[in-house]
Amino acid sequence: MPVALAREQGALLACGGASALSHRSGGVLWRMPVQPPDWVELTLVGRARAQREGIRIYRVAALDPRDIRRHKGLTVTAPARTLLDLAAVIPPPKLEQAVAEALARHLASETALREAMDRAPKRHGTKALRALLDRKAAPAWTRSKSERLMLALVRRHRLPEPATNVQLEAWNVDFFWREQRLVVEVDSYGFHSSPASWERDHRKEADLEDSGLRLRRVTYRQLTDQPDRTALRIKRWLSPNPAAPATS
């Protein structure tokens, strides 16, 4: 047992065989993008027990065997059930990030998530998770603060939802509007920080344009200091006639 997991192992032993790591502790074990909790969080099947120091207990009357796994030698809720429980304790943007990454890494599928909800329709996280999955656009996987700012701007201004972190031939691109053949990259402070990165970005742009795509860039500063102007610029890029002035 890795030393880093000794606390989790101790919590499981203290609470007995009807317990499983869950919520944020389960998310950390599955390497989901969640903040490690101060206490070990676990789900306990059966009657209520007194809370123990360093452990946060979530009690349930039953836990379907399909919602339990062994991972790294520990009993933990399955990824789909972990996400369902996380939906009750983390804000929607964090939930979207966790779900999108789990889908991308094939930890869980949309079918598995919906089946987990069907098995526990009254769980506190069911409403939030169902709302996320029922949206027209798939959960968006963002890798940085700049990308999250960009996605928030797109949604706030009701622009068409792009695909995020898409693999196009040899390149991964930040945002892709397939119908408009538009790629938008978000440049942070480190952009063009070396001759190698400058060369790489120009090669990327040339390859994408050779494939019939348009690549445009926005900066972190534009997203924070000029969000409305940046949204209008993106709206113009998405227009059937991109050369036309944007209208308010």
Ranges of CATH 3.40.960.10 domains, the chain: 145-238
Instruction: Give yes or no for a contact between 185 and 200, defined as CB atoms under 8 angstroms apart.
Output: no
Q: Hey, how many other C-beta atoms are within 10 angstroms of the C-beta on 220?
A: 19
Q: What is the pLDDT of residues 142-170, one digit of tens each?
A: 778 888 889 889 999 999 999 888 888 88
Q: What is the pLDDT of residues 58-98, one digit of tens each?
A: 999 999 999 999 999 999 999 999 999 999 999 998 999 89
pTM value is 0.71
Average model confidence (pLDDT) for the chain? 88
pLDDT of the residue at 245: 47
150 Cβ contact partners less than 8 Å away, ≥ 6 residues apart: 142, 174, 175, 184, 186, 218, 223
What is the C-alpha to C-alpha distance for residues 227 and 69, in angstroms, rounded to an integer?
44
Instruction: Tell the CATH topology of 145-238.
Output: Endonuclease; Chain A (3.40.960)
> What average pLDDT does this structure show over 31-41?
94
Residue 108: what are its φ and ψ, rounded to 5°? -145, 160
14-46 as b/e, with b when 16 or more CB fall inside 10 Å? ebeeebbbbbbbbbbbbebbbeeeebbbbbbee
DSSP reduced 3-state for 124:
coil
Q: What is the pLDDT of residues 4-34, one digit of tens each?
A: 789 999 999 999 889 999 999 999 999 999 9
CA 102-107-110 angle, to 5 degrees, is 70
Where does the chain have alpha helices with state H? 6-15, 23-29, 79-86, 92-104, 110-119, 126-134, 145-156, 195-210, 220-225, 227-238
Residue 151: what are its φ and ψ, rounded to 5°? -65, -40
50 Cβ contact partners less than 8 Å away, ≥ 6 residues apart: none
